[in-house]
A = this chain, B = another copy of it.
Amino acid sequence: MKKIAIGIDIGGTNTKFGLIGEAGEIYAENSIPTQPEGKFEDFARILFFQIMKLRASLDFEYQLLGVGIGAPNANYFSGKIEYAPNLKWGQTVEIVKIIEEIFDLPAATTNDANASAIGEYHFGAAKGMKDFLIITLGTGVGSGIYVNGELVYGADGFAGEFGHLTAIPNGRICGCGKNGCIEAYCSAGGVVRTLKELLETQTETASSLRNENINNITTEDIYKAALLGDKLAMATFEISGKMLGEALANYVTLLRPEAIFMLGGLANARDIIFPTILEYMNINVLPLFRNKVKLLPSGLSKNFAALIGAAALIWDKNS
């Protein structure tokens, strides 16, 4: 009989859920808007009935093992969401306890970037690797770290925050409250802000992006302009790539992974940005490690990496 885990990927806007097989197969999936206010119990009940509907769509017998949940600021050790700025269910929410009660199944949780790392390890391009880093680029910059074949949670369950390394001391203020984080430069908003600064300071340089409303420009627009040779668009990727390369050099010097994976956002412009990242990574890394660490796109779809990774929390528990 097939074994299935329920995966839930709670985002600030939408929540995805699916029935996932042992090899990462998505047997059924759907999504609904996240209801980030009121009580989490109420939202969990809505999820429960939505997932009942998904289950009804399966035409084979299966054994349901548990529920894995990826969510912002979710802590694997405590089973709680703790101080997530965009979710208003309370300062800390006991999501594992509540899901276990409503679903009557064992549950486990971690943050969305860690869930993507677990997905990459079990079902993606990191299969068989014991040491790697995955960076998820989007509204924020998340990351998951594997060392010796295990996800790194650190002493309190919150380790693995590559996006909050200080890239520029006293630099831009970040959402986390400190200055100069990678996330303040390499998230979707950070990249656009870099372009905006270039447009404002390099007034002599022609750019097709001057005709656009800056508030509507996306990383993808900048990518398309760079492909056509737009100098400020190219400079925007150069600045982001150099910063990621320098930070990755320090990561590699500490942890010497086999590979680094990138997913979403800037990684969609990898033909432009990966060479810059590699150049600065290899200049700044311990010479012993030069040209030894692969920089790769994720082997999973950005849409489903955290979903199937969340489900894999349950496979880890049952292995």
A148 touches B150 (CB 8 A): yes
**Bound-state Cα–Cα, A154 to B292, Å:** 12
Q: Which residue of B lies closest to A165 (CB)?
A: B250
B253 touches A155 (CB 8 A): no
Residues of B within 8 A of A246 (CB): 166, 169
Residues of B within 8 A of A152 (CB): 147-148, 255
Residues of B within 8 A of A27 (CB): none
CB contact list, A160-187 vs B, under 8 A: 160-162, 164-166, 169, 176-178
Whether A55 is near chain B, meaning CB under 8 Å from some CB there, is no
With both chains docked as a complex, state the minimum distance between the C-beta of A23 and any C-beta of chain B, in angstroms.
25
CB contact list, A123-175 vs B, under 8 A: 130-131, 145, 147-148, 150, 152-156, 158-162, 164-166, 169
Q: Which residue of B lies closest to A162 (CB)?
A: B254
Whether A193 is near chain B, meaning CB under 8 Å from some CB there, is no
Partner-contacting stretch, out of A37-45, A59-67, A223-231, A282-290: A282-290
Q: How many copies make up the complex?
A: 2
B254 touches A169 (CB 8 A): no
B147 touches A131 (CB 8 A): no
In this complex, how many residues of chain A approach chain B with their Cβ under 8 Å: the count is 43
Whether A258 is near chain B, meaning CB under 8 Å from some CB there, is yes
With both chains docked as a complex, state the minimum distance between the C-beta of A152 and any C-beta of chain B, in angstroms.
6
B166 touches A249 (CB 8 A): yes
Whether A3 is near chain B, meaning CB under 8 Å from some CB there, is no
**Bound-state Cα–Cα, A148 to B77, Å:** 13
Given A178-B287, A286-B176, A287-B177: A256 touches B159 (CB 8 Å cut-off): yes
CB contact list, A250-266 vs B, under 8 A: 250-251, 253-258
B164 touches A286 (CB 8 A): yes
**Bound-state Cα–Cα, A165 to B165, Å:** 13
B284 touches A169 (CB 8 A): yes
A253 touches B164 (CB 8 A): yes
CB contact list, A282-312 vs B, under 8 A: 283-289, 292-293
A131 touches B145 (CB 8 A): no
Given A148-B148, A246-B169, A250-B165: A154 touches B257 (CB 8 Å cut-off): yes
B169 touches A258 (CB 8 A): no
* Contact mask for chain A residues 8-31; partner B; CB cutoff 8 A; 1 contact, 0 none: 000000000000000000000000
| Interface CB pairs A-B, < 8 A, 14 | A83-B288, A131-B155, A145-B254, A147-B148, A147-B150, A148-B152, A154-B255, A155-B257, A156-B292, A158-B256, A165-B250, A177-B287, A178-B285, A250-B250
Known contacts A154-B256, A159-B255, A160-B254; 4 additional CB pairs below 8 A are A158-B256, A161-B254, A166-B250, A178-B283
